[in-house]
Amino acid sequence: MVKTPFSPDYKLSKVEGLKERSNYLREPVASELRLDTNSFSEDATQILKFHGSYQQDNRDNRAKGQEKDYQMMLRTRSPGGFIPPQLYLTLDKLAAAYGNNTLRATTRQGFQLHGILKKNLKQAIAAIVKSMGSTLGACGDINRNVMAPPAPYKNRPEYTLAWEYANNIADLLAPQSGAYYEVWLDGEKFLSAEESPEVKAARQRNANDVNLPDPQEPIYGTNFMPRKFKIAVTVPGDNSVDLYSQDLSLVVITNKKGELQGFNIFAGGGLGRTHNKEETFARVADPIGFVDKADIYDLVKAVVATQRDYGDRANRRHARMKYLLADWGVDSFREKVEQYLGKAISPAKPMPAFKYQDFLGWNEQGDGKLFLGLSVENGRVKDEGKFKLRTALRTIVEQFSLPMRLTPHQNVLFYDIEPNDKEAIAKIFQENGVEIDPTAFDPLVRHSMACPALPTCGLAITESERALPGITDRMRVLLDKLGLTNESFTIRMTGCPNGCARPYMAELGFVGIAPDTYQVWLGGSPHQTRLAQVYQERVNHAELEIHLEPVFAYFKKSRRKNEKFGDFCDRVGMEAIREFVTKSQSGETTATKTRHRVSLPEEIYNQLNQAAASQGKPISHLAAEAIVAYLQSQ
Ligand code: SRM
Ligand code: SF4
């Protein structure tokens, strides 16, 4: 039984009962899997999540009076985004045999397969496990995929340490009961790698009530966590993992010789919100302090135990750990963690400022070999017309047996590449119509992310992945029109307020709140170190330009030298932006005054058009320049 925190009449949510009765995540999944049905019951779908699968239906195929087109999504648990070559080839085969012919790199460094029928789920999961992969704990009220910077710098020990600890923490917090292997592999246990003895000992170590009296699941007990729980490990200065959005972030601290000293700790980030429910909010993590390397697993357990025992198990909308920090304050939270840890947490060690990194293009990895970071638009690995990304990745893995790291920005990185193979690899991409030079992309596309939303996500209110490419194009047209041609910023879009593509950390965020309608967020930092703010509550998809052109015009007019768009919006604030926009829409500023049409003879129009094209300017700009020059010369 879980401890019930706040009041004697504490009423557990329904999911708590399902977890408790599931016999450590076995039922009703195991029984329903044997039934000849197209779908799982609602109770089974809740437990199925812990096994790394969501029941979905293709929302494009919904028709009144007909059964939904049920299909399963599968998500890998891939600490630090590691995908060994044999696993990649298996995922690729599964996408073709059982899925929708695509793979999708996620914002937490996993791969998702969509479109798997219930009858094929067991074969699919078994194949993943037999190829050194896993889906266990990729979803559900449990520790999720542990993130780490994907860069394989072999000459920078802090990067190697981040991978090692991401892996070990994933092992430490993996479910122990064996249910997963019973359900999907008929009890056969395949492990990708032996767990480190240090991790095993840390799991069993029990001081200060940190473990539960539960021999099967000493850390989680029968009820697991109150809600999903997310951890990242990173290195000083590297914010590729979006560390402020995690429940718990650890930053590797080394000495000058590159030897591990311990970790700076951040806690209490989380982005999920519910529309019109003020009590739900996005929150950035707070710095908690520094913990010596010898205590790091105990610290992780202490934070997990704090959330396990005090997180809200009655109201799932208030159940993420960020609400404990918000309700208690950082100091009380730290004190509670210290009680479980049995010692004080030291003040944090100094660190450089965190920066956004995406590691794209060809890079040296520090041991004579190379790595290649590849931009994958919205993470979707597919073949479409002449663009054959899936074929290219498969061919490269087959020929060169390269390991892969998925990045937190839905991109793919190959590493351990022999310099002699560089040309052959580049040729495979070229033959399959895939651009690998990151500077060849519009940086707006390179730095954008969208969640899947429609048609697979059951919670989607608007389009996201299918809408964002058109919207980044429209933003580029606007910027060009205003003479901001070289400007770029992070754009992130989600089909609902849950925030799966972390839009609240972006410089420009679009969050679906009603059909075809987005909330627009501005002012996140270019390095994802602060939250954005709501600029407009509801903007129809077709009217984004009306609300954004004046903001870009204001930015152009009033930015400081080299100031980035997100920093500008944050500095001037939403009120000033809205005021400027209102004035400009009513014609009071020069930025976007009402424009008048002027007719031109066709020949002159054609000449102007050609001149505009050759100068790379919008025709209206060139015409305005010419007329202003003429009038001034009079
Ligand atoms: Fe997410 C639920 C997709 C990262 C916050 N997320 C979902 C579901 C499973 C919908 C559902 O519950 O039925 C989505 C499946 C869509 C589909 O068709 O595949 C979904 N989330 C994703 C992915 C695939 C988005 C992507 O573009 O890559 C990401 C998978 C990551 C992974 O490999 O584990 C994904 N989700 C995130 C993140 C970002 C992160 O973790 O860094 C967040 C915000 C951070 C956070 O958790 O605070 C996020 N997803 C949510 C939430 C809101 C949680 C909350 O605290 O309120 C939900 C809904 C829920 O849990 O009730 C959700
Ligand atoms: Fe689905 Fe919403 Fe997440 Fe997008 S943000 S994948 S719409 S839950």
Q: What pLDDT, on the 0 to 100 scale, is given for residue 593?
A: 47
Name 113's bridge partners: 74, 103
Compute, in angstroms, the gap from residue 591 CA to the centroid of ligand 2: 36
Give the residue, by CA position, lying nearest to ligand 2 atom 3. Answer: 500
Cβ atoms 245, 270 nearer than 8 A? yes
HSE, side-chain direction, 13 A CA sphere, residue 221: 18
Q: What pLDDT, on the 0 to 100 scale, is given for residue 132?
A: 93
The region, left, alpha or beta by phi > 0 then psi within -120 to 50, assigned to residue 347 is beta
Q: What pLDDT, on the 0 to 100 scale, is given for residue 229?
A: 98
Compute, in angstroms, the gap from residue 510 CA to the centroid of ligand 2: 12
Q: What pLDDT, on the 0 to 100 scale, is given for residue 2?
A: 44
Ligand 1 binding site (Cβ under 6 Å of any ligand atom): 54, 56, 73, 75, 106-108, 110, 112, 138, 144-145, 228, 230, 245, 270-272, 320, 379, 410, 451-452, 456-459, 498-502
Low-confidence spans in the chain with pLDDT less than 50? 1-3, 592-594
Q: Spell out where 464-532 has E strands.
A: 491-494, 508-514, 517-522
The model carries a pTM of 0.92
- Helices 468-481 and 544-558 sit at what angle, rounded to 10 degrees? 40
457 catalytic? Reply is yes
Nearest to 170 by CA among 154, 188, 148: 148
Q: What pLDDT, on the 0 to 100 scale, is given for residue 631?
A: 73
Q: How far apart are CA 366 and CA 263, in angstroms?
A: 24
Compute, in angstroms, the gap from residue 67 CA to the centroid of ligand 1: 26
Nearest to 528 by CA among 552, 503, 551: 503
What six digits make up the tokens of 357? 């990194």
Q: What pLDDT, on the 0 to 100 scale, is given for residue 621?
A: 59
Nearest to 463 by CA among 547, 378, 340, 361: 378
Q: Name the 3-class secondary structure at 74.
A: strand
- For residue 449, what is the enclosing H or E element? strand 448-450
Rounded-to-5 percentages of helix, strand, coil across the chain: 40, 15, 45
The region, left, alpha or beta by phi > 0 then psi within -120 to 50, assigned to residue 113 is beta
